[in-house]
């Protein structure tokens, strides 16, 4: 029987800006130029460069909906169904799976969306984001 997962501190995944959507904390590879979410120094998925070759990169929190699906049923502990999952192609390149903010409608593929802060860690670090329709390219 698998035991409970060890407790972890929420990871800061984005940085709020004075105005507009928060920037997502991503990674840019100085060896091949590949940009990805999230921030990491384990190694570039495209070329394998690692450590200092990988630099933190602020990815724009704007993108285009590739797909949306409302989840009617979920067996995950503590996860209430009724949310809408999104596949978002960020303007900076990466495809991410994310969540739509509550009451934000039912965006069709092609809809422009932008991140909004959903939770912080108490020190101002953004640990959770949602997406809402809108956001200029």
Show the tokens assigned to 2. 């698998």
CB of residue 130 to other proteins, shortest distance in Å: 9
Dihedral sign, CA of 120, 122, 124, 125?
Answer: negative
**Contact residue for other proteins among 48, 82, 97, 102 (CB under 8 A):** 97
CB of residue 19 to other proteins, shortest distance in Å: 21
**Contact residue for other proteins among 53, 83, 91, 117 (CB under 8 A):** 83
Verify binding: residue 68, other proteins, rule CB under 8 A. yes
Verify binding: residue 55, other proteins, rule CB under 8 A. no
* Interactions with other proteins, residue window 99-118 (CB under 8 A): 99, 108-110
**Contact residue for other proteins among 19, 51, 52, 73 (CB under 8 A):** 73
53 SS3 class:
helix
CB of residue 132 to other proteins, shortest distance in Å: 14
Contact yes or no for 116/126 (Cβ under 8 A): no
Among 64, 60, 44, 63, CA closest to 52: 44
Verify binding: residue 58, other proteins, rule CB under 8 A. no
CB of residue 28 to other proteins, shortest distance in Å: 15
Other CB atoms within 10 Å distance of the CB of residue 137: 8
CA distance 75 to 13: 25
């Amino acid at each position: 029987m698998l035991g409970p997962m060890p407790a972890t501190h929420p990871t800061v995944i984005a940085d709020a800006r004075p105005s507009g959507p928060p920037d997502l904390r991503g990674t840019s590879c100085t060896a091949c130029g590949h940009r990805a979410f999230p921030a990491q120094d384990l190694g570039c998925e495209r070329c394998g460069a690692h450590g200092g070759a990988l630099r933190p990169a602020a990815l724009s929190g704007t993108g285009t909906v590739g797909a949306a699906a409302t989840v009617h049923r979920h067996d995950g502990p503590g996860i209430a169904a009724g949310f809408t999952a999104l596949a978002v192609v960020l303007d900076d390149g990466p495809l991410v799976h994310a969540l739509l903010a509550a009451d934000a409608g039912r965006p069709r593929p092609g809809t422009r969306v932008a991140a909004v802060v959903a939770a912080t860690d108490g020190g101002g670090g953004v640990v959770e984001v949602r997406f809402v329709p809108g956001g200029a390219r």
